[in-house]
């Protein structure tokens, strides 16, 4: 083994070693970010999301929730799709098209539904799902709310609330759970329908991943 006694050569060697060490660290950091990006990509992204909650009676005993999701698959060989729902009260009559619900389980306040697609989907394919279910005894209090959780990448979200003729809300406001802020909806978000019901609409053109958007109202 050759001993390096020249201080200049030793300094150059140490500098080269440190540069390689720094480069390796940067490459490792970049690689970790890329891997995290792939792992969080998911099986699909939501191109368009619409949900509507209709309360049918002034006592809040019966309500219907409908949902439309236009999704694009991000992987090959997808044979199943996962949906979620929640509600205070009793949920009945969950339906979805296309696909068939084959299993479900509850975790926290969410119920996860596994939907068999009855076919194989590949990356880039697009599906439009329509879901509906009923809620019994879910909106009987003096105030209420409806929460929408962004669990996948989403490009656009629209939420609508429909109130019965005999019970319109005094005000409706938006809360963002992670930001811990609230904003009262403007007057143009409210529309009285010809049959006397009140429709409240809210649109978000860039929903944030893992955010929860909550529309609250006072009766």
Instruction: Kindly report, residue by residue over 148-201, the tens digit of the pLDDT.
Output: 999 999 999 999 999 999 999 999 999 999 988 889 999 999 999 999 999 999
Strand 44-55 and strand 157-163: pairing? Answer: parallel
Question: According to the per-residue pLDDT averaged within each range, which of 9-13, 66-70, 104-108 is highest?
Answer: 66-70
**In 3-state terms, what secondary structure has residue 72?**
strand
Spell out where 86-197 has E strands. 90-97, 100-107, 110-121, 126-136, 143-149, 157-163, 171-176, 181-184, 190-192
Q: Examine the domain organization and report whether 165 and 103 are in the same domain.
A: yes
Please indicate, yes or no, whether residues 92 and 29 belong to a single structural domain of this protein. Answer: no
Q: What's the pLDDT score for residue 152?
A: 92
Q: 42 pLDDT band (50/70/90 cuts)?
A: confident
Examine the domain organization and report whether 166 and 95 are in the same domain. Answer: yes
**Are both 20 and 58 inside the same structural domain?**
no
Query: Contact, 201 vs 188, CB < 8 A?
Result: no
Using the structure block, give the residue that is written with the tokens 């992987």: 75
Question: What is the share, in percent, of the chain residues with pLDDT greater than 90?
Answer: 71
H-type alpha helices, 122-174: none
137 secondary structure, DSSP code:
S
Q: What is the mean pLDDT of residues 96-123?
A: 93
Note whether 13 and 58 are same-domain residues.
Answer: no
Range of the domain at 203: 44-218
Q: What is the CATH number of the domain that holds 58?
A: 2.60.40.1730
Q: Are residues 29 and 109 part of one domain? A: no
In-domain check, residue 4: no
Does residue 1 lie within any of the structural domains?
no
Do residue 122 and residue 159 come from a single domain? yes
Asked if 95 and 73 sit in the same domain, the reply is yes
């Amino acid at each position: 083994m050759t001993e390096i006694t020249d201080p200049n050569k030793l300094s150059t060697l140490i500098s080269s070693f440190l540069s390689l060490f720094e480069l390796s660290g940067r490459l490792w950091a970049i690689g970790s970010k890329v891997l995290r990006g792939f792992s969080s990509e998911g099986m699909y992204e939501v191109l368009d999301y619409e949900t509507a909650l209709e309360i049918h009676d002034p006592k809040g005993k019966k309500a219907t929730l409908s949902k439309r999701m236009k999704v694009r698959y991000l992987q090959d060989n997808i044979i199943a799709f996962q949906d979620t729902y929640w509600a205070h009260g009793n949920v009945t009559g969950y339906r979805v098209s296309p696909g068939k619900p084959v299993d479900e389980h509850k975790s926290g306040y969410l119920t996860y539904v596994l939907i068999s697609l009855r076919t194989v989907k590949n990356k880039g394919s697009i599906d439009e799902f329509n879901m509906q279910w009923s809620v019994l005894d879910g909106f009987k209090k003096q105030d209420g709310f409806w929460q929408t959780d962004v669990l996948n990448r989403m490009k656009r979200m629209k939420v609508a609330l429909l109130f019965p003729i005999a019970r319109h809300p005094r005000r409706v406001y938006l809360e963002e759970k992670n930001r811990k802020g609230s904003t009262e909806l403007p007057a143009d978000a409210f529309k009285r329908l010809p049959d006397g019901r009140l429709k409240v609409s809210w649109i978000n053109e860039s929903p944030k991943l893992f955010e929860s958007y909550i529309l609250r109202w006072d009766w």
